[in-house]
Structure 1
Amino acid sequence: MKRRELVVALFVLGAARSVGAQARPTAAELAARVDAFYGRTRTIRARFTQFFFARAYGRTSTSRGSIVIERPGRVRFDYDPPNGKIFVAEGERWLMYEPFDGGPGQFSRGTSSALVAALGILSGAIALDAYRASVGDRSPGAPADTDVLELVPLQRDPHHRCVRLHVDPRGAVRRVGLLDHEGNWNTFALDALVFDEPIDPSTFTFTPPAGAREI
């Protein structure tokens, strides 16, 4: 390649990189995009795939199911069989039910949960201004049209030290990752998203079967 052609090629490459860098949104722009989208969104339905990476064992377990959200603060997870767990939350109050083969199963409840924290921004239970925001790198396997918003709590949270949101051009979150204090990642990939469909209020109430043991 002649010197002049090389100079032109390098100039074009540099200009392309510059345009790409300028096109990448800032953390403030991403946060505003998310805030605006969910500020005008009332309900959310989706399929989820949950990946839980246990740092101590170096292994990832996978679960699937459906999620329903009604803002502000109502969330329900229904895990597919054979898991079959049901998690219902309103604000910080939650109930988790686990079925057992041949028995009524068991349940627990409380007022603080990692699942509430994971979906808190989507459900409106947690405000974005509770975090320090920065732009992160896209996780392997994440949607190609997303940008990553990294969020670190301004005050220590018992359940997580970082939240990673993969945000599409609309401002919709397509993947949520939660890093806890032991280095475990709890990630939810959201697919088949449907917004603002009416949801029966009874969806967010659940009574464990008779005989279920509270733990």
Structure 2
Amino acid sequence: MRFLIAGVVAALAAAAPAQASLPEVAAHFRGLQTMTADFTQTSASGAVARGKLILARPGKVRFQYEPSVPMLIVADGKSLSMIDYEVSQVSKWPIKGTPLAVLLDPATDIAKYGRILPPGNGGLPGFVTVESKDKKHPEYGTITLYFSPDKQAPGGLSLSAWRVLDAQGNTTQVQLANARFNVAVDKNSFTYRDPRQRPRPRGRG
């Protein structure tokens, strides 16, 4: 997690290790209705992309990438869609079958699927580190969440980053900044233009 460590070294130098229990993390999700943030995504290849995150529980999220990245990720409450405008392709998965279910699906019980990772054993000092995976469905992948203490955030915790390990062993890391909680968001944020649909030709006359 080099991108995360580089951004918080100064803060961690003076910070005591964060401590929390899974019920406290669950309280964060219960209190989280919406969130907006800037994100930085680092893929398994090392490629970096940035953009804006809009989240609305239950089940909705939008990763709006910067203009140079012709891609969009949207969850509409039922499915998570990845839209690649460069090749006009749309891929869909049920939300509960993705690692992001822990963020989006209220039916995903963090106390059942998650565990706290202490510093030195997978956890990052200064953060509450939670690893979540469905042991019955390893194909769903594993997500590791990093929370920082924040009295202004739901449950006193602010999601700072996460790391997803998919079934193929590829890792994607996302770092958040400028998070805002329980603010109004546009319901149209969770729709998208389907690149597979060609515009209808205009009639003559």
Q: Same fold (TM over 0.5)?
A: yes
Q: CA deviation at 1:24?
A: 5.7
Is 2:145–2:161's contact at 8 Å kept on the other side of the alignment? yes
Task: Give TM-score, length-normalised by structure 1.
Answer: 0.69
For residues 129-140 of structure 1, the aligned pairs below 5 Å read 129-137=111-119
Is 2:54–2:61's contact at 8 Å kept on the other side of the alignment? yes
Match for residue 155 of structure 1? 136
Residues 130 and 157 of structure 1: CA distance in aligned 2, closer, same or farther (over 3 Å): farther
Match for residue 56 of structure 1? none
- The CA deviation string for residues 114-160 of structure 1, in whole angstroms up to 9 with x for no partner, is 9x734322223533144141314489xx7x64121222323223231
Q: Report whether the alignment pairs 1:211 with 2:198.
A: yes
For residues 177-188 of structure 1, the aligned pairs below 5 Å read 177-188=163-174
Task: Give TM-score, length-normalised by structure 2.
Answer: 0.72
Q: CA deviation at 1:177?
A: 0.8
Residues 96 and 151 of structure 1: CA distance in aligned 2, closer, same or farther (over 3 Å): closer
Distance (Å, rounded) in 1 between the aligned partners of 2:70 and 2:91? 17
Q: State the superposition RMSD in angstroms.
A: 2.9
Match for residue 97 of structure 1? 83
- Find 2:35's aligned residue among 24, 28, 44: 44
Q: 1:158 is paired with a residue of what secondary structure? A: helix
Distance (Å, rounded) in 2 between the aligned partners of 1:137 and 1:107? 41
Is 2:35–2:182's contact at 8 Å kept on the other side of the alignment? yes
Q: CA deviation at 1:74?
A: 0.6
Q: 1:111 is paired with a residue of what secondary structure? A: strand
Residues 113 and 71 of structure 1: CA distance in aligned 2, closer, same or farther (over 3 Å): closer
Residues 171 and 187 of structure 1: CA distance in aligned 2, closer, same or farther (over 3 Å): same
Higher Cα radius of gyration: 1
How many residues are matched?
175
Is 2:60–2:104's contact at 8 Å kept on the other side of the alignment? yes
- Find 2:179's aligned residue among 164, 184, 193: 193
**Structure 2, unaligned runs of 5 or more:** 1-15, 150-155, 200-205
Identity %: 21
Q: 2:140 is paired with a residue of what secondary structure? A: coil
Q: Tell me which amino acid in the other structure corresponds to 1:111.
A: W
Is 2:53–2:63's contact at 8 Å kept on the other side of the alignment? yes
Match for residue 12 of structure 1? none
Match for residue 106 of structure 1? 88
- Find 1:166's aligned residue among 146, 170, 189: 146
